[in-house]
Structures are given as structure tokens and as C-alpha cells.
Amino acid sequence: MGVLNLTPDSFHDGGSYPTQKAAVNRALKMVEEGADIIDIGGESSRPGAAPISEREELGRVLPVIKGIRKQSKIMLSIDTTKAAVAAEAIACGTTIVNDISALRSDPGMTRVIARNKVFLILMHMQGTPGTMQHNPTYDDPVREISDFLQERIKIALGASIPYQQIIVDPGIGFGKKLEHNLVILQNLNRFAALKVPILVGLSRKSFLEQILGSSAEDRLTATIAANAIAVANAADIIRVHDVKEGRRTADVACRLRRRNAQDR
């Protein structure tokens, strides 16, 4: 999954694609580099980010979705917590809704997903983007996050969203300290008990800086290493800024994972 942030303030690539043409060209480049999905976001979810209006979010994402769809059949995901934004994006050809609130922000989201029969990504986050890094605490991160995701899956099922349309994301960096992120990655295969695909988004995130002391621009090799571990530990989808490197990482790590399974 390639990341296409259409925001001025995202932590790594905010403001990188100020025009529709630049954003569409970036998406097409990611397709060339091996992306299976393009995840389009118009509202930053970095720590401390302030919310924006529905109108502003739609103005950022819809022209780009339309522009990509004119030139490519790549699967598109809309990264939003707003039902109206999701509905408009779906009408323009998006088939995945990536809801970092896991259906908690907008009560209309379940109806949009169920009515349109699209995929839904449920992510764990302790708090909100504005507050999530204010001393997050857990007794058992993997168990607590797994329990949360199981509960959100039940909510989705109860709203007539079938199992085969659901994906889960443990939310690396969303209300987690360094030790929480590491424990999640080390034990990612425990989330397989949820029996739905697992997405992991750790591309260039700040927990890698805490390990290496490097800026977001200098975290590519750290991202590659972490993504290899994630895929080896059962990740089905990795969300990345650097698609060429992510594609190669996933292909090698997935092949090694299959070989290990055969050996056992």
C-alpha cells in the first residue's frame, strides 16, 4: 500500500504534492514501482494534528481520486474518519476505507461501508491524533489491542459488514511508546487469531528515530528492516512511502515466511 498524503502538515511528505497533477503523477509512479493499493489521505493524523472540515478534506482528495481513476485501475483507499468523505470517494472509484478511528468518529460510517460493500480497515488508536502521544499506557499491549480490534470487528459485523471485507491495523505509533511498538511488531502473528488480514503502517515513523536518532528523511533503511520483520511475522499489507523498496522488502520477506512454514 503506497501512501499519498495530500496534506500540508503530514510528518514526512506533507506539502509534497500541492497540485492535482503532482499528486496523480506520484500515484502513477507508485503503480510503476509495484504498489497494489494507493492510500489517499487529506487530513493529517500525525501526533498533535488538528482536525479539518469535511469540505476542506473533500477538496483535497476528490480531484486526485478522479485524476488517478482516469489513468489507472489501481485499487484505491481513502484514509478518512468522515462518512461523507468516504461516500464521495467511493462514488469516484475508491474500494477501501481506512478509518483510523475504527468506526468511532462518525456513526454514519458503518452505513456507508455496508451499503457500498467496500473494504474497511479498522485501526487501533489510544486517544486521538491530538492527544494520542500524551503518555499512552498499557498493561499488555498485544492483548489489549487485540481485544479492541475484536470488539470493533463485532461492531462491523453487527452493521452488516461481512468478515471478508474487514482488515485490521494495530496502529503502530498511534498512542504507543517505543516499547509498545516493538512488542507489537515482535508479536504481530498473535493478531492472526482475529482471522482477518493484518495491515501494518510503520514507514519512517518516529519510533525508528528513537532507535537510531535519525530524521524522517533518513529512516528508509530502518523502515525496510522493520517491514521485513512485520511481513515475516504475519503482516499481509505494509503501508509505505517508498513503494519500490517496500515492494522488494515484502516480496523477499514473504518468500522467506513461506519457506519457514514449509520447513516446520
Tens digit of pLDDT for each residue in 5-32? Answer: 998 754 455 456 678 999 999 999 999 9
**Mean pLDDT on 121-128:** 89
pLDDT above 90 coverage of the chain, percent = 78
Q: Assess whether 239 carries a catalytic annotation.
A: yes
**Confidence (pLDDT) at 177:** 94
Domain 2-263 has CATH 3.40.50.720: no
Question: Would you say residue 252 has pLDDT above 90?
Answer: yes
Q: For 38-88, write each residue's pLDDT tens digit.
A: 999 999 877 667 788 999 999 999 999 999 999 999 999 999 999 999 999
Mean pLDDT on 156-175: 96
Write down the catalytic residue from 152, 205, 219, 247.
Answer: 205
What is the pLDDT at residue 220? 94
Quick check: is 66 catalytic?
A: no
pLDDT tens-digit map of 89-106: 999 999 999 999 999 999
The pLDDT value recorded for residue 53 is 93
pLDDT of residue 97: 98
The percent of residues above 70 in pLDDT, for the chain, comes to 92
Mean pLDDT for 159-181 is 96
Q: Which of 152, 176, 219, 239 is catalytic?
A: 239
pLDDT band (50, 70, 90) for residue 127: confident
Q: What is the pLDDT of residue 213?
A: 84
B/e letters for 72-90, b = 16+ CB within 10 Å, e = fewer, are bebbbbbbbbbbbbbbbbb
Q: Give per-residue pLDDT as tens, 209-238.
A: 899 887 777 899 999 999 999 999 999 999
Ramachandran category for residue 7: left, alpha or beta (phi over 0 → left; psi -120 to 50 → alpha): beta
Domain regions of the chain by residue span: 2-263
3-state secondary structure the chain: CEEEECCCCCCCCCCCCCCHHHHHHHHHHHHHHCCCEEEEECCCCCCCCCCCCHHHHHHHHHHHHHHHHHHCCCEEEEECCCHHHHHHHHHCCCCEEEECCCCCCCCCHHHHHHHHCCEEEEECCCCCCCCCCCCCCCCCHHHHHHHHHHHHHHHHHHCCCCHHHEEEECCCCCCCCHHHHHHHHHCHHHHHHHCCCEEEECCCCHHHHHHHCCCHHHCHHHHHHHHHHHHHCCCCEEEECCHHHHHHHHHHHHHHHHHHHHHC
- Between CA 109 and CA 52 the distance in angstroms is 17
Mean pLDDT of the chain: 91
